[in-house]
Amino acid sequence: MTGVSDTPDYLDRAARPRIAYRFVAGAGTTIIFLPGYMSDMGGGKATALFDWAAAEGLACLLLDYAGCGLSDGLFAEQTLPDWRGDVLDLIDAKVEGPVVLVGSSMGGWLMLLTALALVQRDGPARVAGLVGIAAAPDFTDWGFTPEEKAIILAEGELREETSYSDQPYVTTRAFWQSGEANGLLGDVIALTCPVRLLHGEEDGDVPSTISLRLSAALASDDVQVTLVKGGDHRLSRDGDIALLIDTVARLATR
């Protein structure tokens, strides 16, 4: 079996940094995992999903956005559209046919932006389904206080201590402005594919109400929100990961 611990491959591009990725070929729909802010493809959810897909003979793609993990580039120079472009470049290079996009936290925002771009370019059949894990669209709007937004605009960045890393979270003015320019929750999100939204009831970073707002904004009639009792933002307990795999499996093999 091809494991996620193997040496990654790289996609070279003329105008953008080299991207690290891991891909296992398989039958049917390709599963693509999009990590969260300042996260990478080495996390527990991504690893478990990749290893399960490989064992089941399903295609799966993991990646590190530019400036993250094993990819080239500077994190502070990236914007939301830059990272959407990273995902689309890898899809164009490695994936044929329909995809199921799985987005964790900020990756849930990129999941939606990527799906919209694919549908507009290739048609609705290109996106077989979406699975959000504490999806955080529009977090540049609701995720910062007015004082924090003022610091970002005045000083060019905001640094915050986080329990998820020994490095501070850095939000640059360019990233924040790109987020404000790509908000989704204020209008109908023109996606009609099946969507599954998993959210921990005890998520202290992304309120579960965001998944409810997202459900209401989506044009799709096939949207389900699952609130996980005792679940935190990571949703990385054994039971949480089993729920994730079962949810993805139902969309990828339907």
Taking the alpha carbons at both ends of the chain, their separation in whole angstroms is 24
**Sheet hosting strand 195-200, strand order edge to edge:** 9-11, 19-24, 58-63, 27-34, 99-104, 127-133, 195-200, 223-228
- pLDDT value at position 158? 95
Q: Per CATH, the architecture of 9-138+187-252 is what?
A: 3-Layer(aba) Sandwich (3.40)
- Predicted pLDDT of residue 16: 96
Half-sphere exposure of 80 (CA within 13 A, CB side): 26
* Distance from C-alpha of 152 to C-alpha of 146, rounded to nearest angstrom: 10
Integer CA distances (angstroms), 54 to 32, 44, 104, in order? 13, 15, 20
Q: DSSP secondary-structure letter at 76? A: G
Q: Which pLDDT does position 1 carry in this prediction?
A: 35
With pLDDT > 90 as the criterion, what percentage of the chain qualifies?
91
Residue of 138, 126, 121, 254 lying closest to 196 (CA atoms): 254
pLDDT of residue 6: 66
Helix axes 80-94, 106-122, angle to 10 degrees: 60
- pLDDT score, position 5: 47
Q: Where do the H-state alpha helices sit in 15-145?
A: 44-56, 80-94, 106-122, 139-142
* pLDDT score, position 4: 47
Distance CA(20)–CA(7), nearest Å, equals 10
Read off φ and ψ for residue 145, nearest 5 degrees.
Answer: -75, 160
What residue ranges of the chain have pLDDT lower than 70? 1-6, 163-165
What is the set of active-site residues? Answer: 105, 203, 233
